[in-house]
Chains A and B, each alone.
Chain A
């Protein structure tokens, strides 16, 4: 089976590395990982090629994670891509908003690899 292609969206390059490391530490067999520093870069990446999973921050400059979700849902071929929000944002209303516009889950920073696995595994299982 082809390993899932993952897009990690966060304005912190350190956090992008930590998210990728956590996915691998959790034992998830992922393939290519592409990084984006905000929603605009993420949209460009999504237009260039398909992903099996997207992990996105909410609070980012230029374009935040919620606007990215809205814009992504208009891109043919990207609509069904599962997106999990990874954020410090503790507001329930922001989480509900993210879920209402298509996010499949939510991980609050700080997080452990096990917490990432718990949210992401079921989404990757569907690909098998």
Chain B
């Protein structure tokens, strides 16, 4: 049986204070390796809320139940897509959700691989993308959130892990 499906380990791992740093490192690595670019500190990040009209999400189930998401503007998403594909000029719009989904998938996978209890006991769903910025994500029941705001070529990009209790 897949260890992630063992009922004894389901939802048994709780976020700790290191997870923000682990998520930040995990996201930076994905951008370094796949886009050959550095995510940088977002100025005044404490005063900002996650925003943007493109959100990619990957579900996590097993020792941790929750959703990993990435949120940014369409413009930033297009720039990321172009960089991933090595495109010069405009990108094909249908590649944008696909590219952002894959980035989210890799960030979630990289994050869980860095946490011993999750690597073996947590599965990832296939990704999904929301277009539009007028929404609020509510987990039921309410749980913890780990949010990291970074800058990609000066524009904000948000990485959020919403954990279900």
Contacts and interface: CB of A to CB of B under 8 A. Distances in A.
Instruction: Give the interface centre of A12, A13, A21, A108 by most chain B CB atoms within 10 Å.
Output: A12
Interface in B1-45: 2-4, 29-30, 33-34
A66 to B, nearest CB: 10
A60 B85 CA distance: 21
Contacts, number: 69
B120 interface: yes
A93 B124 contact: no
B151 interface: no
Given A12-B98, A12-B101, A18-B34, A61 B126 contact: yes
A3 B85 CA distance: 24
B3 A88 contact: no
Interface residues of A, number: 24
B98 A90 contact: no
A14 B102 contact: yes
B61 interface: no
Given A14-B84, A91-B4, A110 B106 contact: yes
Interface string A2-13: 000000000111
B106 A14 contact: no
Nearest to A110: B33
A79 interface: no
Given A21-B86, A89-B124, A109 B99 contact: no
6 contacts: A14-B98, A88-B110, A88-B124, A90-B110, A94-B2, A110-B106
Interface of B: 2-4, 29-30, 33-34, 81, 84-86, 95, 98-99, 101-102, 105-106, 108-110, 112-113, 119-120, 122-126
